[in-house]
Structure 1
Amino acid sequence: MSDWQQFGLAAVEILAALFVFVIGLGVLGVVVLYVIDVTQTRHAIRRNYPVIGRFRYWFEHLGMFFRQYFFAMDREELPFNRAERGWVYRAAKNVDTTQAFGSTRDLRPVGTVFFVNCPYPTLETDAVAPREVTIGPDCPTPYTRAACSTSRG
Structure 2
Amino acid sequence: MLFLDEAAIWLTQPNTYTWRPIGCPMEVPTSKARGITARLNLMGCVDFASGKVLYREIEGNTKATDTVAFVDTLAQQADPACPTVLLMDQASIHISAEVGQHRQRWKAQGLVVAYLPPYSPEQGPMEGQWRKLKYHDLPHRHHASKADLRGAVERATWGIAI
Give the TM-score range, shorter chain. under 0.3
Question: TM-score, normalised to structure 1's length?
Answer: 0.21
TM-score (norm 2): 0.20
Q: Relative contact order, CA 8 A, sep 6+: which one is greater? A: 2
The structure in which a higher percent of residues are strand is 2
Q: Higher Cα Rg: structure 1 or 2?
A: 1
Which has more helix, going by share of residues? Answer: 1
